[in-house]
């Protein structure tokens, strides 16, 4: 079967072109132009590596030639699992120029996730580092190779072992036609709420529009220094305005290997970082570290926080503790991104998750029957616009549920529209746990738990957590012997699941509460575990 990615209907595509949202740019040409106008400026700093725009441009060309020599061509999918190293940026632009599509995996993904991405996307290649954070990705690649015989190439940045060396691929640049602006440039991962993650196809046109607009809102220019502290492949540090938005404006990107203050603070001081992005738990850690120690963070003008709800109490402390403006960012890899504006009143910055970045973003807040709720009431957020997808990759049946018949994406978030036009995230309707910005689809974990011989049934829900906002709790009805929590976690790890998806807590029960129609009541389970945690929280205090 031919892969499908629902495009925008012609009338919308025409509108987005006529209004100048989509300007017919591609990533490959964007880098070429920056290299022409300011080739001598530093584009990328990563570890000891410093690349100018001219060098990045040339290395992308040489790597594209190397990929081409391996037989990787337009439309081919390549699962890319690289940490925050220069090779990430080079590989992205090399693939963009070829018209091959990176599928952005996260460094924490393991064989279960990676094998699924490779198979589902019918990837021809898988790109990994040798060792990162003490983990040997070549071992993971061996497991993936065993599960995915169609994978033609495993390419390693660093010591390749028995695989193909990324460094060895750089070759004499060749002429290639390159993709069209309306083509899909890459695939992002959805946080997911169903059994298996979905792939999000993003085009050059739509993504470049989103990062150009983001860069504008964040007032980026050639003097801006953006630090990627979150994993580069995630949509937030990649595009809001992130790595690509900074390169669009000709600024400098600094890739931090890890987001800890120990590593990030010295980099901020050394490179004069002006803007960076964090998830809420990291923002808390940074504030604590900044209060305790003296690092020169005076270059930092904007701290973006998003991915999960940032508490107003913490938000209120950012300016005094870190000496910069807080920007709340509420976005999704499917498209829509909301920002508080840099000159918004403090009240708005602290208490809202911002407003859509584009005047062409359409927002609806609706009830269970898709009817608009009253002014200021909480409802389901639906959205449509020039950079929000119209459907996931190869997921026709799911798309029929995840999008309305007129093309609005059902975000699964419960929001309220404040009188000033800003959104406040009030909760979530989708069956997902947001573990401090890391999204866990309950059904995916339940399916893995059900494979354990001593699990009769499983229901995974969120439980409140002061630090991460939420953690995961797995309710288990045992079969025969009662499995221990550690045993279940080991079982899931053994099955190749990313560590952030392992249940933080396991509760044994003999039955699940039910809703009126006889479904498992996750609401009741959430209440059960929250009530159980409460006395402990009180005695801890
Ligand atoms: P993903 O599907 O992984 O791209 O994650 C997008 C989801 O993260 C959104 O639909 C929200 O549920 C959540 N999210 C992102 N940013 C925020 C934020 N600032 N506040 C609350 N939730 C957020
Ligand atoms: O959580 C997200 O996916 C997210 C958060 C902030 C995002 O995709 C984004 C900004 O672009």
pLDDT in tens, 18-60: 999 999 999 999 999 999 999 999 999 999 999 999 999 999 9
202 close to ligand 1 (CB < 6 Angstrom): no
Contact 351, 424 (CB under 8 A): yes
* Model pLDDT, residue 193: 81
- Nearest listed ligand to the Cα of residue 191: 1
- Reading phi first (left if > 0) and then psi (alpha if -120 to 50, else beta), residue 535 is in alpha
In ligand 1, the atom with minimum distance to the C-alpha of 430 is 12
Residue 438 CA to ligand 1 center (angstroms) comes to 9
Residue 139 CA to ligand 1 center (angstroms) comes to 32
* Model pLDDT, residue 192: 80
Q: Which two tokens stand for residue 259?
A: 């987001």
Residue 330 CA to ligand 1 center (angstroms) comes to 6
446 close to ligand 1 (CB < 6 Angstrom): no
425 close to ligand 1 (CB < 6 Angstrom): yes
E-assigned strand segments in 164-274? 164-165, 184-189, 199-203, 225-228, 252-255
Residue 17 CA to ligand 2 center (angstroms) comes to 25
CA 46 – CA 43 distance, rounded (Å): 10
CA 412 – CA 119 distance, rounded (Å): 27
Contact 299, 225 (CB under 8 A): yes
Give DSSP secondary structure letters for 493-521.
Answer: HHTT--GGGS-SEEEE-S---B-TTS-B-
- Nearest listed ligand to the Cα of residue 353: 1
431 close to ligand 1 (CB < 6 Angstrom): no
E-assigned strand segments in 71-192? 77-80, 101-104, 125-129, 131-132, 135-136, 153-157, 164-165, 184-189
Which of 331, 414, 427, 428 best tests ligand 1's pocket when mutated (most atoms within 8 Å of CB)?
331
- Nearest listed ligand to the Cα of residue 210: 2
The domains found in the chain, sorted by start residue, are 25-360 (3.40.50.12780), 432-540 (3.30.300.30)
Neighbours of 23 (CB within 10 A): 12
382 close to ligand 1 (CB < 6 Angstrom): no
Mean pLDDT within 91-102: 98
For 222-240, what is each residue's pLDDT tens digit? 999 999 999 999 999 999 9
The three-state secondary structure class of 360 is coil
Mean pLDDT within 108-126: 97
Residue 436 CA to ligand 2 center (angstroms) comes to 12
Q: Helix 204-217 to helix 10-18 angle, to the nearest 10 degrees?
A: 40
The residue whose CA has the least distance to atom 15 of ligand 1 is 307
Q: Strands 131-132, 135-136: parallel, antiparallel or unpaired by DSSP?
A: antiparallel
Phi first, then psi: what are they for 30, rounded to 5°? -60, -45
> How many residues in the chain?
541
CA 460 – CA 444 distance, rounded (Å): 9
* Model pLDDT, residue 2: 56
- Is 1 a residue whose pLDDT tops 90? no
- Nearest listed ligand to the Cα of residue 337: 2
For residue 241, whether the previous peptide bond is cis, meaning omega lies within 30 degrees of 0, is yes
Residue 327 CA to ligand 1 center (angstroms) comes to 15
Residues with CB under 6 A from ligand 2: 235-236, 239-240, 306-307, 329, 331-333, 337
**Element of type H or E holding 278:** strand 275-278
Which residue pairs, CB below 8 angstroms and at least 24 apart, start in 162-169?
162/138, 163/138, 164/70, 166/63, 166/87, 166/91, 166/127, 168/66, 169/63, 169/66, 169/67, 169/69, 169/70
Q: H helices within 99-136, ranges in order?
A: 111-120
381 close to ligand 1 (CB < 6 Angstrom): no
Residue 171 CA to ligand 2 center (angstroms) comes to 35
Residue 306 CA to ligand 1 center (angstroms) comes to 7
CA 67 – CA 400 distance, rounded (Å): 36
- Nearest listed ligand to the Cα of residue 429: 1
The three-state secondary structure class of 452 is coil
The closest alpha carbon to 395, from 334, 453, 336, 455, belongs to 334
CA 67 – CA 61 distance, rounded (Å): 10
Sign, CA torsion 204/187/407/380: negative
- Is 327 a residue whose pLDDT tops 80? yes
CA 333 – CA 240 distance, rounded (Å): 10
Which of 318, 413, 438 best tests ligand 1's pocket when mutated (most atoms within 8 Å of CB)?
413
The residue whose CA has the least distance to atom 12 of ligand 1 is 413
For 415-462, what is each residue's pLDDT tens digit? 999 999 999 999 999 999 999 999 999 999 999 999 999 999 999 999
Residue 434 CA to ligand 1 center (angstroms) comes to 8
306 close to ligand 1 (CB < 6 Angstrom): yes
Q: Cα dist. 255→233, 252, 267, 313 in Å?
A: 12, 10, 9, 29
Neighbours of 21 (CB within 10 A): 21
- Is 259 a residue whose pLDDT tops 90? yes
CA 230 – CA 275 distance, rounded (Å): 13
Confidence of residue 360 (pLDDT cuts 50, 70, 90): very high
331 close to ligand 1 (CB < 6 Angstrom): yes
For 183-217, what is each residue's pLDDT tens digit? 999 999 998 888 888 999 999 999 999 999 999 99
Neighbours of 454 (CB within 10 A): 15
CA 475 – CA 504 distance, rounded (Å): 11
- Is 107 a residue whose pLDDT tops 70? yes
- Nearest listed ligand to the Cα of residue 238: 2
In ligand 2, the atom with minimum distance to the C-alpha of 188 is 8
Q: Kindly tell me the burial class for residue 10, based on how many C-beta atoms sit within 10 Å of its own C-beta (0-12, 13-18, 19 or more).
A: exposed
In the numeric block, the tokens 């600024």 are attached to 251
- Nearest listed ligand to the Cα of residue 425: 1
Residue 428 CA to ligand 1 center (angstroms) comes to 10
The closest alpha carbon to 303, from 313, 321, 294, belongs to 321
In ligand 1, the atom with minimum distance to the C-alpha of 432 is 12
Looking at every residue in the chain, the average pLDDT score rounds to: 96
Contact 425, 415 (CB under 8 A): yes
Q: Strands 42-46, 49-52: parallel, antiparallel or unpaired by DSSP?
A: antiparallel
The three-state secondary structure class of 450 is coil
* Model pLDDT, residue 536: 59
CA 315 – CA 538 distance, rounded (Å): 24
Phi first, then psi: what are they for 330, rounded to 5°? -120, 105
Residue 306 CA to ligand 2 center (angstroms) comes to 7
Residue 198 CA to ligand 1 center (angstroms) comes to 15
Mean pLDDT within 303-320: 98
- Is 276 a residue whose pLDDT tops 90? yes
Residue 308 CA to ligand 1 center (angstroms) comes to 5
Which of 234, 423, 441 best tests ligand 2's pocket when mutated (most atoms within 8 Å of CB)?
234
Share of the chain above pLDDT 70, in %: 98
Sign, CA torsion 422/427/429/435: positive
Residues with Cβ within 8 Å of residue 451, at least 6 apart in sequence = 495
Contact 407, 441 (CB under 8 A): no
* Model pLDDT, residue 541: 42
428 close to ligand 1 (CB < 6 Angstrom): yes
Residue 332 CA to ligand 1 center (angstroms) comes to 6
């Amino acid at each position: 079967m031919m892969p499908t990615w629902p495009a925008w209907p012609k009338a919308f595509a025409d509108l987005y072109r006529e209004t100048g949202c989509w300007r017919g740019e591609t990533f490959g040409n964007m880098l070429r132009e920056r290299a022409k106008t300011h080739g001598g400026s530093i584009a990328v700093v990563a570890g000891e590596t410093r690349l100018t725009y001219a060098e990045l441009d040339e290395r992308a060309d040489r790597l594209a030639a190397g990929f081409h020599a391996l037989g990787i061509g337009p439309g081919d999918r390549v699962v890319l699992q690289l940490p925050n190293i220069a090779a990430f940026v080079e590989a992205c632009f090399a693939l963009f120029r070829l018209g091959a599509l990176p599928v952005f995996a996260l460094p924490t993904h393991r064989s279960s996730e990676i094998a699924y991405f490779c198979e589902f996307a019918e990837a021809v290649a898988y790109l990994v580092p040798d060792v990162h954070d003490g983990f040997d990705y070549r071992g993971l690649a061996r497991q993936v190779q065993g599960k995915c015989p169609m994978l033609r190439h495993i390419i390693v940045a660093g010591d390749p072992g028995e695989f193909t060396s990324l460094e060895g691929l750089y070759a004499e640049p060749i002429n290639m036609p390159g993709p069209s602006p309306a083509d899909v440039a890459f695939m992002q991962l959805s946080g997911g709420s169903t059994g298996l993650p979905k792939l999000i196809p993003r085009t050059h046109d739509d993504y470049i529009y989103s990062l150009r607009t983001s860069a504008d809102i964040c007032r980026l220019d050639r003097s801006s220094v953006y630090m990627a502290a979150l994993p580069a492949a995630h949509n937030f540090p990649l595009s809001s305005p992130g790595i690509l938005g900074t390169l669009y404006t000709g600024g400098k990107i600094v890739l931090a290997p890890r987001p800890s203050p120990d590593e990030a603070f010295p980099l901020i001081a050394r490179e004069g970082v002006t803007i960076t992005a964090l998830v809420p738990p990291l923002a808390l850690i940074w504030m604590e570290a900044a209060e305790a120690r003296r690092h020169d963070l005076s270059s930092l003008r904007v701290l973006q926080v998003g991915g999960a709800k940032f508490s107003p109490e913490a938000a209120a402390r950012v300016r005094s503790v870190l000496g910069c403006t807080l920007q709340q960012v509420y976005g999704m890899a499917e498209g829509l991104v909301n920002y508080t504006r840099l000159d918004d009143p403090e009240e708005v910055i602290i208490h809202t998750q911002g407003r859509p970045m584009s005047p062409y973003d359409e927002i609806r807040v609706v009830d269970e029957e898709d009817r608009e709720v009253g002014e200021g009431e909480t409802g389901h957020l639906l959205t449509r616009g020039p950079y929000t997808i119209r459907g996931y990759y190869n997921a026709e049946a799911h798309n029929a549920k995840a999008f309305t018949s007129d093309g609005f994406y059902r975000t699964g978030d419960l929001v309220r529209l404040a009188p000033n036009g800003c959104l406040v995230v009030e909760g979530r309707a989708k069956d997902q746990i947001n573990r401090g910005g890391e999204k866990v689809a309950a059904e995916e974990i339940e399916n893995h738990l059900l494979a354990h011989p001593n699990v009769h049934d499983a229901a995974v829900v969120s439980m409140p957590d002061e630090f991460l906002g939420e953690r995961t709790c797995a309710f288990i009805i045992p079969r025969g012997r009662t499995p221990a929590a550690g045993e279940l976690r080991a079982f899931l790890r053994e099955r190749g699941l990313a560590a952030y998806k392992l249940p933080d807590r396991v509760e044994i029960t003999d039955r699940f509460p039910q809703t009126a129609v006889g479904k498992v009541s996750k609401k009741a389970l959430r209440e059960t575990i929250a009530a159980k945690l409460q006395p402990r929280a009180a005695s801890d205090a």
